Amino acid sequence: MVLENKVAIITGGASGLGEATAIRYAGSGASVIVADTNTSGGEKTVELIREKGGTAEFVHTDVTSENDVINMINVAKGKFAKLDALVTCAGILLSPNTRVDQFEATDWDKVIDVNLKGTFLCVKHAVSLMGQHDSGVILMIASGAGVLGGSSSVAYAASKGGVYGFGLTLAGQLKPLNIRVHVILPGNMATTLKLNVIGEIAEKAGGSRQEAIKAQLPSLLKPEVTAELLTNLVSDIGTSAQDTLLIQSAAWTKIFEDQKRSS
């Protein structure tokens, strides 16, 4: 198994990419901490993992709370004595297609808190544990919206742009600790968050939520596809991935497939 004996924390593990990644990691041999505010969803992810013989623990975690994040890290340390990988999938998007002069400051704060501050807190405390063993991989889920713009939400774009810059800085800062940092820009995925945004935009325009989702669903990536790439990055194959910024594409997928066949 490519992740045998590895320990990983997946934030946002109750649904979407986080859920798919947690299941994929556990199926590849890793022990997984599933962290989320959604207790029922997180426990369901853990149940699915255990049914297949995997090892997982759910930790109720609000990534905007430093105390919650510290507890999450302490659970990993107490249960498994180390941390090999952190994947920051927790994220929200509010007020899609709302012009900046009509965007509520409270919504702005919520998005920045979860997507950017939450990522910072998780990385901060994960590094404290990874640093004890001078190794680790941090995979930060950003978005093309934070680099190229085009998001339906100004706060979401700003938060993901912050994650992008944060990750580029971390890559150099943590290199002496032998901790690899990658910022991932996945394509549009069929996650609950994305489907809700599609539906909300359609409703605002007077259209049908269901029809809009049905029309766009075939063009969206399955979270499981991105989860495979995130698995490769934490495996021995991933040690050859030197770029901090990784954009999901068919070419990138092919590189990993070629490496697996030749190993």
Interacting residues of 15 by C-beta distance below 8 A, sequence separation 6+: 36, 38, 41, 191, 192
What pLDDT, on a 0 to 100 scale, did the predictor assign at position 67?
99
Does residue 173 register a pLDDT over 70?
yes
Cα 80 to the center of its chain, rounded Å: 21
Helix, strand and coil in the chain, % to nearest 5:
55, 15, 30
Higher pLDDT, 189 or 84: 84
Does residue 61 register a pLDDT over 50?
yes
Nearest one of 211, 158, 156 to 188, comparing CA atoms: 156
* pTM to 2 decimal places: 0.84
> CA-CA distance, 24 to 17, in Å (whole number)?
10
pLDDT tens track for 107-165: 999 999 999 999 999 999 999 999 999 999 999 999 887 888 776 789 999 999 999 99
Question: Which whole-number Å values give the CA distances from 132 to 27, 181, 214, 254, in the listed order?
Answer: 26, 17, 48, 34
What pLDDT, on a 0 to 100 scale, did the predictor assign at position 252?
42
Q: For 7-186+222-249, which CATH class? A: alpha beta
Interacting residues of 154 by C-beta distance below 8 A, sequence separation 6+: 98, 100, 103, 108
Mean pLDDT of the chain: 86
Does residue 55 register a pLDDT over 90?
yes
pLDDT tens track for 207-252: 776 766 666 666 666 778 888 889 999 998 777 666 566 665 433 4
Nearest one of 4, 64, 71 to 33, comparing CA atoms: 71
Q: Which of 25, 80, 108, 156 is catalytic?
A: 156
Residue 25 known to be catalytic: no
DSSP 3-state assignment of 48? helix
What pLDDT, on a 0 to 100 scale, did the predictor assign at position 189?
64
Amino acid of residue 181: V
Yes or no: say if 91 and 147 are a contact pair by the CB < 8 Å rule. no
Which helix (H) or strand (E) segment holds residue 101: the answer is none
> CA-CA distance, 135 to 5, in Å (whole number)?
14
pLDDT tens track for 7-23: 999 999 999 999 999 99
What pLDDT, on a 0 to 100 scale, did the predictor assign at position 202?
61
Predicted confidence band of residue 56 (pLDDT cuts 50, 70, 90): very high
